[in-house]
A and B are shown apart, each in its own frame.
Chain A
Amino acid sequence: MNDLSHPGRIGYSLPQIPEDLFTVVGDLSKLIPNSMTRSTDLKLPEMSEPEVLRHYVRLSQMNFAIDVGMYPLGSCTMKYNPKVSQRIARNPNIANLHPYQDEGTIQGILSILYDLEKMLCEITGMDAFSLQPAAGAQGEYVGTLIIRNYLKDQKLDQKDEVLVPDSAHGTNPASAAMAGFKVIKIPSSQAGIVSAETVRGLVSDRTAGMMLTVPNTLGIFESEIAQVTKIVHEAGGLMYYDGANMNALLGRVRPGDMGFDIVHLNVHKTFATPHGGGGPGAGPVGVISKLADYLPIPTISNSDGRYRLDYDKPRSIGPIKSFYGNTAVLLRAYCYILSLGGEGLKVASEQAVLASNYLLSLLDKEFYNPTIPRGIHAKHEFVVSSSPLKRKSGVLAGDVAKAILDQGMHAPTTYFPLIVNEGLMIEPTETETLESIEAYGDTLNSIARNSLVEKDRVISSPHNAAIGRLDEAKASHPNTIILSWKQVKSSQTN
C-alpha cells in the first residue's frame, strides 16, 4: 500500500470547521499542551478514494471464503451466512446505538437479546445465559472462572484440577490455565471417546471440573457421557460443554440433558454468523440455575415488558469485556434461529451429519483411514488419517491440503486433533450441495492417486493460488521477522 502513496492525494472529505468557530476558540494548537502535541509526521499513505477502493477489492480477490466455494474446515462449521441478517444488521437502529444510551432508548435491542438468551436456554437445556463473551475462547474463560468462584464459595478451594481430553481444542487447556487451574489430560480410548473408566481413574478431591466437546473433535458422539458426568459430579466437579460442535445436535441432544452445568456456543459456527476472516464472533455462556448468579455483569432483566441492564450481582465473576457483548453478531444469530425455526434447526443438524457421512463414504480407504470405529456414524465432521497415503507415496496430509487449494476448494483442518497422525478433519456442513460434496470427495481421491504418479507436482502445490508455499521459518525467526511496512523501510535504509 505504501507504494501507492502520492504526497498530496486525499481519500476523505470532512466538513470545513466554520471560521466563526475559530474566532470563539482561537488557535487550536494553543489548546493542546506542547508536550503532548505530535511533532513527527504521521507516515500514513496518501491515497485517493478510487485507489483505496481498488486496493482493497484487489486484496479481497486474493481471499477464499464461504461465498466463493466449499470450505469444509473441520471444527469451524463454515456454513452459508444468510444475507438477510447482513441487511438487518445495517439498520442504524443497531449500527449506531451507543452503549451508554439511556435504557429507555434501547428497549428494542434489549428485547431481542433477552429473547435470544431464552432461545439459547431452550436449545441447550440451560437455565440462564450471558451473551457477553466475544468468542468461544472467552466463553471458556468465563466458564472456568465460574467454576473457580463457585467452588471458592463452597469452601472447596483445594479443587484445582480441570480434566481436558487429549483431543480437545487448544483453547480448553489455555482457558483453564488462565483461570488458575492445573490441566489434567484425559487420554482418549481406542474407540476415540472419553471412557468412564479412564475418568474414574483421574478424578479426585482436587477435581474442579471437566471440559468436553460433544461430539468430540473426531466427530464421535461421547456415548459414555451420562456415566462420565455422574463420576465428575460425584467427585464434586462441574461439567463444562464446549459448544464448538453443537452443529451436530440441535433439537436432538441438549448439553443440559447430558448433565453439563456450563455451556458455551460459538454463534459464528452453529448459528451462521460470518466469521470475518478471523472475527468478530460471539461465545455466549449458559449455566444451570445454581450458577446463574456467577454470570458476567451486566445481565438483562425484564419486568412488565421493560428491559434493564442489571449490574447489581455481587457473586458475578465481573465484567469480561467492554459493554454488553458482540451485539451486532448476536442479532444475526437471532435472525438465523428465526429463519430456520425450531424444526429447521433440527433438520439443519441432521443435514450436517448426513453430509459428513456421505463425504466420508466417498473417500478411498486405501489412502484415507477413518478414525471412527466401524458401525458408528460420524457426526457433523470426521477425521481421516492419510498415513496410508504417506506410506505409499511419501505425500503428507499438509501436501494434500495444499493440492486441494488448486481445485478452488478450501482444505480440511490438518494435523488436528493432535492424537491422529496425518489427520485431515473434514466438516462439509449442511449448506453444501450433494454435487459439491461429491466433487470434494473426487478431488481428495484424485490427489491421492496423482501422488503415486506425479508426487513432485503434489508436494509443490498449490500452483494456481495467489502465491506458492511461503517460508514460515523465516517469517518467525527473530532475525528475519517483519511485522510492519515501517520495519521493511528501516531495514532498506540500513
Chain B
Amino acid sequence: MAHKFLPNSDVTITKTMLNKLGLTDAEQLYSDVPKDVTLKRPLDIPSALSEIELEKLLTQKLGRNKSYPEYLSFLGGGCWVHHIPSVVDEVLSRGEFYTAYTPYQPEISQGMLQAMFEYQSQICELTGMEASNSSMYDWGTALGEAGRMAQRVTHRNRILVARNASPERTAILKTYCIPAGMHVEIVDFDGVTGNLDLGFLASKMNDQVAAVYFENPNFLGIIEEFAVDIVEKAHACGALAIVGIDPATLGVMKPPGEYGADIVVGDGQPIGVYPNLGGPLIGIFATRMDPLLLRQMPGRLIGLTSEKADPSRQGFVMVLQTREQHIRREHATSNICTNEALFAVAVSIFLATMGPKGMKELGEHMIAKSHYAQQRMKEEGLEAPFFSGKYFGELSVRTKMDGAQLAKNLGEQGILGGLPLGRFYPDFEMVSLFSFNETHSKEDVDRLVSALKATTS
C-alpha cells in the first residue's frame, strides 16, 4: 500500500531500498525477533480513513459535545474559558514552533529558547518571583513537585495544605508526596468567610513542617486577605510558603513574591490556552533566586548567555541541566522531560498583547462581573455570596437544590455551570461556584440570574 504520510511505501521504492540492503522482503528486517512473541494476526483496528471520512466522523462525534460559545459558560475552579487573542492562534499554528522537539541544539532553536525565556521573564513579573521554569504539566503536578522540592530543601516531611485549596490538586499532591515519605495534612478554613483558619494553622506548625500551601484567591473564590500572616507563620517555623495563583488575577492582585512566597505554582491556561477538557494545560513554577532553591528546582530552565567566539552576541540555552533526569538519572530533582513548551509560547504571546494595562482590565472584568452577578442574584432572593470573604472572579451561591442537579437544569437552558462544591465538600452540597470574566456581557449575566431564579424557585 502507498500512504500519503509514507513517501517510501510505494512498492517499487520499498523494493529498491530493500534490494540495496540485500533483502527481498520487509519481513527479513525482523528476522531477529523470536517467533513466539510475534503477532500472528492483523491488528483489530479499522482500515485507513481518507481525510474526508476522518473529518466527517470526527465532526459528528465531537458534535455530541456542548460547548462555549454555543452555550454560556460560568465554569471555573482551575480551568477557565477566557478570550484568546487571534495572534496567539496565528503564531501557535506555525509549524516552526509546534513541530519542533525539545531545543537540544540551541543554535537552530533560538526562537523557541527565546520565547521560553520571554515566558520565564513575564511569569517573574506577574508573580513577583525571580526564577520561573519553562513549564510543568499543569497546576496540580506543579504543586506535587513543589511539595517534593520543599522536602529536599528543608529535609522535613510534613506539608500543610489549606482545605480551601483545590481538593483535586491536593489529591495530586498526595500522589506525588506520599511515596516520598511525606505527610500531607489539611488545614481547615472558616466556614463563614471561606478564608483559611489562621488559628488552626498556628496549632499545626512545628519544626517538622516542610511547607505550607495555600491558594490566593482560594478554590472557593475568596481572597486570602491575611496571606502575609500565613507566610510569616510558615517562615517562623523554617517552612517554605507555597502559593497557588490564577495568573489572570495578577494584573490587579498583589503578586505573591511581594508577600514572601518561596514557591509560586499555578496554571497558565487562563492566559492563552484553550480549556481542551482540562488538558493540555501549563503548570507555572517560580521561586526566589536562592541557590538552594534553584538547585532543587524541577523542570527545564532557559538562560541567557553569549556566543563563545564572539561574546558580544547573546543567545539562549537550557541551563542547570545537572538537576535533570537525562544527566542525574535516579538522583534528578524530577523525572520530567516533555513539558508544555508550546503553551509557554502561547502564554508569552498572550502577555505580550495584554501588557500591564490589559492585565489590569482583565482583572477588572472579573471583579466587576462577579460583583454585578452577586447584586443581581441577591435582588432575586438568592443566597449570594455564600462565603462572606472578599472574592475576585468566582462567586459562591447557595440554592435550595443540590449543585449537580442545578448544573443539569441550567444545562437544559444552554448554560454551563456552576461548579457544584458538593463534589469536593460534602458539607456544601447546595453551594455552587460561578466564574465571571471578560467573555461575559451584562446580558449574559442577567440571563444566568434569570435562569437560576427560574430553576430554583
Q: Which residue of B lies closest to A351 (CB)?
A: B6
* Chain B interfacial residues counted at CB < 8 A: 215
Name the 3 nearest CB pairs between A and B, nearest first.
Answer: A323-B278, A67-B95, A278-B341
Q: For the complex, is B317 an interface residue (Cβ under 8 Å from A)?
A: yes
Q: Which residue of A lies closest to B410 (CB)?
A: A102
Residue among B43, B100, B132 making CB contact with A484, cutoff 8 Å: B132
> Is B317 a contact of A470 with CB atoms below 8 Å?
yes
Given the interface pairs A35-B225, A36-B223, A328-B274, the reply to whether A101 lies near B66 with Cβ below 8 Å is yes
Interface centre among A11, A20, A112, A434 (most CB of B within 10 A): A11
> Is A177 a contact of B130 with CB atoms below 8 Å?
no
Measured in the bound complex, the distance between the Cα atoms of B130 and A326 in whole Å is 29
> Is B75 a contact of A98 with CB atoms below 8 Å?
yes
Kindly specify which of B154-162, B172-180, B201-209, B234-242 makes contact with the partner chain: B172-180
Interface size bucket, A side? Answer: 35 or more
Given the interface pairs A276-B98, A484-B132, the reply to whether A1 lies near B118 with Cβ below 8 Å is yes
Q: For the complex, is A447 an interface residue (Cβ under 8 Å from B)?
A: no
> Is B8 a contact of A433 with CB atoms below 8 Å?
yes
Interface centre among B277, B376, B442 (most CB of A within 10 A): B277
Q: Hey, which chain A residues are within 8 Å of B43, CB to CB? A: 122-123, 250-251, 342-343, 345-346
Measured in the bound complex, the distance between the Cα atoms of B107 and A462 in whole Å is 8
Shortest A211–chain B CB gap in Å is 11
Q: For the complex, is B141 an interface residue (Cβ under 8 Å from A)?
A: yes
Q: Hey, which chain A residues are within 8 Å of B343, CB to CB? A: 276, 279-280
> Is A91 a contact of B59 with CB atoms below 8 Å?
yes
Interface residues of A in 165-197 (CB under 8 A from B): 169-171, 173-180, 183
Measured in the bound complex, the distance between the Cα atoms of B259 and A276 in whole Å is 35
Q: Hey, which chain B residues are within 8 Å of A40, CB to CB? A: 128, 255, 258
23 A-B residue pairs with Cβ-Cβ distance under 8 Å, sorted by A, are: A11-B87, A15-B438, A21-B368, A24-B376, A32-B253, A36-B216, A64-B108, A66-B101, A84-B54, A88-B55, A169-B337, A251-B42, A252-B38, A277-B98, A279-B342, A279-B343, A280-B339, A327-B277, A338-B57, A344-B6, A354-B14, A434-B13, A483-B132
Interface centre among A78, A125, A470, A474 (most CB of B within 10 A): A470
Q: For the complex, is B191 an interface residue (Cβ under 8 Å from A)?
A: no
> Is A339 a contact of B17 with CB atoms below 8 Å?
no
Q: For the complex, is B9 an interface residue (Cβ under 8 Å from A)?
A: yes
Residue among A328, A361, A480 making CB contact with B280, cutoff 8 Å: A328
Q: For the complex, is A475 an interface residue (Cβ under 8 Å from B)?
A: yes
> Is A47 a contact of B353 with CB atoms below 8 Å?
yes
Q: Apart from A38-B254, A56-B348, A411-B104, what 20 extra A-B contacts exist at CB < 8 Å?
A: A11-B355, A12-B358, A14-B83, A38-B253, A42-B359, A44-B126, A86-B98, A98-B277, A100-B79, A221-B32, A277-B112, A278-B300, A279-B135, A280-B338, A321-B141, A329-B280, A347-B9, A466-B107, A483-B319, A484-B130
Kindly specify which of A138-146, A284-292, A387-395 makes contact with the partner chain: A138-146
Q: Hey, which chain A residues are within 8 Å of B223, CB to CB? A: 32-33, 36
Shortest A255–chain B CB gap in Å is 9
Residue among A46, A411, A478 making CB contact with B357, cutoff 8 Å: A46
Q: Which residue of B lies closest to A25 (CB)?
A: B371
> Is A431 a contact of B5 with CB atoms below 8 Å?
yes
Q: For the complex, is A199 an interface residue (Cβ under 8 Å from B)?
A: no
> Is A276 a contact of B274 with CB atoms below 8 Å?
no
Shortest B388–chain A CB gap in Å is 13
Q: For the complex, is A401 an interface residue (Cβ under 8 Å from B)?
A: yes
> Is B39 a contact of A252 with CB atoms below 8 Å?
yes
Interface residues of B in 6-31 (CB under 8 A from A): 6-9, 13-14, 16-18, 20-21, 26, 28-31
Q: Which residue of B lies closest to A55 (CB)?
A: B352
Q: Which residue of B lies closest to A1 (CB)?
A: B118
Residue among B42, B122, B419 making CB contact with A342, cutoff 8 Å: B42
Residue among B39, B68, B99, B227 making CB contact with A275, cutoff 8 Å: B99
Measured in the bound complex, the distance between the Cα atoms of B126 and A236 in whole Å is 51
> Is B107 a contact of A56 with CB atoms below 8 Å?
no
Q: For the complex, is A320 an interface residue (Cβ under 8 Å from B)?
A: yes
> Is B368 a contact of A28 with CB atoms below 8 Å?
yes
> Is B329 a contact of A170 with CB atoms below 8 Å?
yes
> Is B368 a contact of A319 with CB atoms below 8 Å?
no
Q: Hey, which chain B residues are within 8 Å of A478, CB to CB? A: 291
Shortest B247–chain A CB gap in Å is 11
Measured in the bound complex, the distance between the Cα atoms of B338 and A175 in whole Å is 13
Q: Which residue of B lies closest to A353 (CB)?
A: B29
Interface centre among A14, A35, A78, A138 (most CB of B within 10 A): A14
Residue among B125, B338, B360, B361 making CB contact with A137, cutoff 8 Å: B338
Shortest A4–chain B CB gap in Å is 9
Measured in the bound complex, the distance between the Cα atoms of B224 and A362 in whole Å is 65
Contact with B along A308-323 (1 / 0, CB 8 A): 0000000001111111
> Is A358 a contact of B17 with CB atoms below 8 Å?
yes
> Is A341 a contact of B329 with CB atoms below 8 Å?
no
> Is A475 a contact of B172 with CB atoms below 8 Å?
no
Shortest B94–chain A CB gap in Å is 5
Q: For the complex, is B345 an interface residue (Cβ under 8 Å from A)?
A: yes
Given the interface pairs A12-B358, A339-B49, the reply to whether A434 lies near B279 with Cβ below 8 Å is no
Measured in the bound complex, the distance between the Cα atoms of B197 and A30 in whole Å is 24
Q: For the complex, is A430 an interface residue (Cβ under 8 Å from B)?
A: yes
Given the interface pairs A43-B125, A64-B105, the reply to whether A326 lies near B279 with Cβ below 8 Å is yes
Q: For the complex, is B351 an interface residue (Cβ under 8 Å from A)?
A: yes
Q: Hey, which chain B residues are within 8 Å of A413, CB to CB? A: 104
Q: For the complex, is B77 an interface residue (Cβ under 8 Å from A)?
A: yes
Q: For the complex, is A366 an interface residue (Cβ under 8 Å from B)?
A: no
> Is B1 a contact of A343 with CB atoms below 8 Å?
yes
Q: Hey, which chain A residues are within 8 Å of B411, CB to CB? A: 102, 104-105
Given the interface pairs A68-B95, A93-B65, A405-B108, the reply to whether A318 lies near B364 with Cβ below 8 Å is no
Q: Which residue of B lies closest to A148 (CB)?
A: B179
Q: Hey, which chain B residues are within 8 Å of A178, CB to CB? A: 148, 179-180, 334-335
Shortest B270–chain A CB gap in Å is 12
Q: Which residue of B lies closest to A330 (CB)?
A: B279
Contact with A along B130-157 (1 / 0, CB 8 A): 1110110111110000001000000000
Shortest B56–chain A CB gap in Å is 11
Q: Hey, which chain A residues are within 8 Å of B325, CB to CB? A: 137, 170-171, 173-174
> Is A42 a contact of B442 with CB atoms below 8 Å?
no
> Is B140 a contact of A319 with CB atoms below 8 Å?
yes
Measured in the bound complex, the distance between the Cα atoms of B308 and A471 in whole Å is 5
> Is A102 a contact of B375 with CB atoms below 8 Å?
no
> Is A84 a contact of B101 with CB atoms below 8 Å?
no
Q: Hey, which chain B residues are within 8 Å of A95, CB to CB? A: 67, 274-276
> Is B101 a contact of A107 with CB atoms below 8 Å?
no
